[in-house]
Structure 1
Amino acid sequence: MHGCSYHLSTATVNGSPAFDHWHGQVQALVTPIDIRVPDRAAFRGELRQQDIGEVQFSVIDATRQEGVRDTSGPHGASSRFDLVYMRSGGITLRQNGREASLGAGEALLFSHLDDFRFLTSEFSEAYLVALPSAWIERWLPDPYACTIRPLIGTSRWGAAMDGLLRSIAIAVKEGRPLPAHIVGDQLGGCLALMCEGIAGEETTYRRRLMHQLRRTLASRFADPDLTPAAIAAQHGISVRYLHSLFAATGSSVGRELRSIRLARVRAMLEDVACRSLTVSEIAYSCGFNDPGYLARCFAQEYGRSPTSFRQA
């Protein structure tokens, strides 16, 4: 069936109002994103968009754009992933501390659950396929594992996806009906084939990142103002992604930081060289602002208060 379609062009508007109109419509129709351009008056863009069942297909032709998506803003995060394919020109996209650059004939996935930014070339033609999380998870067991990495050029199934996207784009430009269930199944099947084997590579990446995060906790535990936001910023990832990494291990940032601090407190209580320090002084030196809170946590962890532990 033919879904809802839309056509937007700056050709009918002159001067800077053309960009203002484009910016507003992209925010409403594609995603709430802040777009910056070198010259607002010289900007040119055209958007053709069609809903095809659960997915939304957009053809975007535009001069240089820089986009920034902040999920902490009023619009929050969206439960979707996007597949971007460059028909011509190029784009550089960054998310969760990772960056990938695409040229013509290349594609990648990125998530709307986390912040991202992109920069396009002087002129580019791109296909953007919006994929709801519930839809893509039927095809990919871990969509996050496939984000921010070029897909088509590295897969033997790339030619099939390339041909499928171009065929869909032609139909969208011509306003022709598309069988939603068939197109959806073809998109999902091609994605699954192209992403086969990537999960193992991503597991290695996540393990390495988790090792780095735990080293950060171990080196900065004494900072009472250490927050998940500060840790995420240090590693160039979003707070949401930071929490998801620890949750996947069955833990949390706060739990692991507290465990490191308590272990350090215990070591100082056992150290003869620290006998002159009060329990409160030890608490402050290990990142605890409240000695009473330390006492409660310590008793839960080791079965006795810090004072009793030291005496024993």
Structure 2
Amino acid sequence: MRALHFRSTEEVAPDQRARYWRDSVHQSVVEMDLVPTEPHEFFGRIELCPLARIVPFQVQGSPQRVSRDPVEIARGDKNAYYLISQPLGAWRIRHAGHDHLVQPGESVLVDSRIPYEFVFGAGLDDLSVEMPIGWLERWIPDPARLIGRPLQATGGWGLALRGAKEALVPRALARLPLPDELVEDQLGALLALASGCERLDARVPRGPFERGVEAIRARLSEPGLVASDIARDSGVSLRSLHRAFAAHQHTFAGTLMQVRIDEAARLMVERRFRHLTIAEIGRRCGFLDGSHFARQFRRLRHVGPRDFRASAGL
């Protein structure tokens, strides 16, 4: 079996977790700054399964902002490319002059020699692969054209890349009875095909309603989120945003509530989040008042949150 490396904030006292988490990521990945957006009950965990050349890893944690600035780049003694995605949640990346709201399953190539900022507003559930600079550039001679830009994940080679990448979960990879080089070549070939055969940013055109819903999903954990914030993220006026929602028989407030409750329901039934209390799940979805969360959950799901979770056996 391959070696599986694991670190979790559950190993230290609550008041030490943020610092412990930053140190863990520095040692396991690369120097960067990590700022929890919800300091209370902060948690994070990382699992790695190094292969001969590349290092697949999985990171889970509370909502947070991750950044790497020129000072950290100069201070660090390691640089690499990283292929980053979240299978289930949207997240924001600012890197190499690009600013994108990355959709679930889409991968982004990151160069640790260039400053970046990631915002995981709904929590961190990341699958990444660390790739040596020379190894990556053997597969993609001109990676600069890809840096910071999401790769398609809904069809063609992009979908194949997504499937291969999401199979590189460290715990499953540790037991995979295949040579390291075979796994690495599979990923390299699919990355080259996905980046070379599909036009970048060739997404289906999205109107203000679709962009608004995406922005809500990316920021649903913010208790004070208002329509003007989403209009700004969507690149439209406040009036245009409300008109777009009305044209789809929705309101901003109703959509925000539905998205928050849907995310809360997802967290409640996924086993890896079973350590979270109902109150913490509510806070992660933007509810500061537990009773308000329970009322809205019952209104939209026709069952209370505790009974809903119990029905899933958690």
TM-score (norm 2): 0.58
149 and 103 in structure 1: CA distance in 2 versus 1, 3 angstrom threshold: same
How far apart are 1:59 and its partner, in Å?
0.5
Shift of the 113–50 alpha-carbon distance from structure 1 to 2, 3 Å rule, reads: same
Q: Is the 8 A contact 1:155 1:194 kept in 2?
A: no
Asked if the contact 1:151/1:158 (under 8 Å) is kept, the reply is: yes
In structure 2, how many angstroms separate the alpha carbons of the residues matched to 1:200 and 1:62? 30
User: What amino acid is aligned across from residue 70 of structure 2 in structure 1?
Assistant: T
Contact 2:82 2:128 in 1 (8 A): yes
Gap change, CA 1:199 and 1:104, over 3 Å in 2: closer
Letter in 2 for 1:36: V
Structure 1 unmatched runs, 5+: 202-312
Cα displacement (A) at 1:124: 3.0
Matched, 1:142 2:105: no
Q: CA deviation at 1:144?
A: 1.1
1:116 is aligned to 116
Is the Cα contact below 8 Å between 2:36 and 2:42 reproduced in 1? yes
Alignment-derived partner of residue 105 in structure 1:
105
Q: Which residue of 2 aligns with 1:195?
A: 195
Distance 2:165 2:59 in 1: 13
8 Å contact from structure 1 (residues 108, 150) kept in 2: yes
Aligned to 1:232: none
**C-alpha separation between the residues in 1 aligned to 2:50 and 2:29?**
12
Q: Distance in 2 between matches of 1:142 and 1:198?
A: 15
CA RMSD in angstroms, aligned pairs only: 2.4
Output the CA distance in 1 between the equivalents of 2:164 and 2:13: 35
Q: Distance in 1 between the 2:27 and 2:101 partners?
A: 26
Question: Shift of the alpha carbon at 1:184?
Answer: 0.6
2:46 corresponding residue in structure 1: 47
Instruction: Please give the secondary structure, in 2, of the residue aligned with 1:168.
Output: coil
Counterpart of 1:51, as a letter, is P
Residue 68 (structure 2) aligns with: 69
CA contact (8 A) 1:94 1:118 kept: yes
1:27 aligns with 2:30: no
SS in structure 2 opposite 1:196? helix
Q: Report SS of the residue matched to 2:135.
A: helix
8 Å CA contact 1:60–1:127 kept in 2: the answer is yes
Using the TM superposition, give the Cα deviation of residue 103 of structure 1 relative to its aligned residue in structure 2, in angstroms. Answer: 2.3
Q: Percent identity?
A: 25
2:124 & 2:19 partners in 1: Cα distance? 19
Deviation at 1:76, TM superposition (A): 4.4
Distance 1:200 1:15 in 2: 43
Query: Contact 2:34–2:64 (CA<8 Å) still a contact in 1?
Result: yes
Please tell me whether the aligned partners of residues 82 and 110 of structure 2 are also in contact (alpha carbons under 8 angstroms): yes
Alpha-carbon offset, residue 155 of structure 1: 5.4
Q: Is the 8 A contact 2:30 2:76 kept in 1?
A: no
Query: 2:24 matched to 1:36?
Result: no
- Match runs of 1:148-159 below 5 Å: 148-153=148-153, 156-159=156-159
- Where 1:72 maps in the other structure, the secondary structure is helix
Are the equivalent residues in 2 in contact too, given 1:96–1:115 (CA < 8 A)?
A: yes
SS of equivalent to 1:31 = coil
Residue correspondences, number: 199
Shift of 1:174: 7.0
**Which aligned pairs between 1:263-278 and structure 2 lie closer than 5 A?**
none
1:165-198 CA distance string (max 9 Å, x none):
22221x5357424521011100000100011157
Q: Residues 62 and 111 from structure 1, CA distance in 2 versus in 1: closer, same or farther, beyond 3 angstroms?
A: same
Distance change >3 Å, CA 32–CA 91, structure 1 → 2 = same
Please state whether the residue corresponding to 2:37 is helix, strand or coil: coil
1:254-280: per-residue Cα shift (whole Å, max 9, x none)?
xxxxxxxxxxxxxxxxxxxxxxxxxxx
Q: Deviations over 1:36-56 (max 9, x none)?
A: 112334211111111111101
One-letter code of the match for 1:58? F
State the Cα distance separating 1:15 from its structure 2 match.
Answer: 1.5
Q: Which SS does the other structure have where 2:196 is aligned?
A: coil
1:8, CA displacement in angstroms? 1.2
Q: Counterpart of 2:148 in structure 1: which amino acid?
A: I
Identify unmatched segments of 5+ residues in structure 2: 202-314
In 1, the alpha carbon distance for the partners of 2:166 and 2:5 equals 18
Structure having the higher Rg: 1
Write the distance in 2 (CA, Å) between the matches of 1:173 and 1:11.
Answer: 22
Question: Normalized against structure 1, the TM-score is what?
Answer: 0.58
SS at match of 1:195: helix
